[in-house]
Structures are given as structure tokens and as C-alpha cells.
Amino acid sequence: MTSGDRPPVGRRQQQGFGYLMVLFALAAMGISLASAGQVWHTAAQREKEAQLLFVGHQFRLALASYRDRSPEGSPNTPATLDDLLQDKRFPKPVPHLRRLWRDPMTNSTDWVLVKPGGRITGVHTRHEGEPLRHVHEPRDASLSGTTAYSQWVFVAEPPATAPSDISPVTAGSP
């Protein structure tokens, strides 16, 4: 072997160093992309939770509207979700719900219906995942402490009752 066939001593020690640098760079990029993916997944789940709470509140309002506007002698809970879309108990059908909302957790309109006595009193999702949110706003306080989205049941709030023991104040009374 002649001296022209061998690399100089300094270059022989650097062979493979560039390859290792590329491998370390790829590993670092993989780790950072994995952590970014986890952050994105958590943000997407939080957004779905917020959407589920919004849609659940829409169902609450619709069920309360159906109950509060029920004619004398007719049931005050719907038999189907379509009854919330067009309440045919009136001469002109009344909409209590603008549209049949999709379940953001399952991306379907296949809600689980709470039907004691065969009539709908509430809805909830089929999704069994664990929620990120465990403490809720006052209107969703009944959902606090649940361990699965399927336990987030949305029912009409009780009707507001007028205070009955308020006596009218007359002029000159203390």
C-alpha cells in the first residue's frame, strides 16, 4: 500500500462522525415530534370535551323547552329525539332543537337516551374514555367527579319556581 492510498491520520479518526451526528439529530427530532403529538392530542381532547358540554347544554335547553311548553294533558318529555326537532303537538310544529347535534366524542348522532318510563329525560355519549376535566362550571356541577364521558348525562334542569311566601309590600308598611 502506498502513502497515497491511505487517508491522513487525522481524517481516519473522523470517519463515521457525520453519520452519528445525523442519527442523533433524527433521534432528537423524533422525541420532539412525539411530545408535540402528545400536546396536540390533549388539545384535541379538550376541544372535544368543550364541544360535548356545549351540545349537552343544547339538549338540556331543548328538553326543558319541551317540558315547559307542553300543552295541558300531554306528556312533558319526548318519545324520540325527532320530537325535539319538530314538536307536532301544536297546530304549527314547534322546534325545541335546531338540529340533531353530533356527539363530538364518537362523531355520530347515536346518543344513548335516558328513558325511564319509555320517554326521554336525558342523553349521554357512548364514549367510555376518561375525561381531562373533573371540575365543572355551576351549570355542569352534576358532572363533577365522573370517571368516564359516558357518565356525563345531560338532563333538563328543574323548572324555576316562583317564591310563594312573598307578601306584597303596601305603602306605609315597615
Confidence at residue 136, expressed as pLDDT on a 0 to 100 scale: 79
Helices (H), strands (E): how many in the chain? 3, 3
The pTM (predicted TM-score) of the whole model is 0.74
SS (H, E, C) 97-151: CCCCCCECCCCECCCEEECHHHCCCEEECCCCCCCCCCCCCHHHHHHCCCCCHHH
Give the pLDDT means over successive 10-residue stretches in the chain (174 positions).
59 72 90 87 92 96 94 92 94 93 94 94 95 84 90 88 51 48
**What is the H or E stretch that residue 154 is in?**
strand 154-155
Distance CA 77, CA 88 (A): 13
SS3 category, 48: helix
Confidence at residue 133, expressed as pLDDT on a 0 to 100 scale: 82
Confidence at residue 11, expressed as pLDDT on a 0 to 100 scale: 56
Q: What are residue 117's phi and psi, to 5 degrees? A: 75, 10
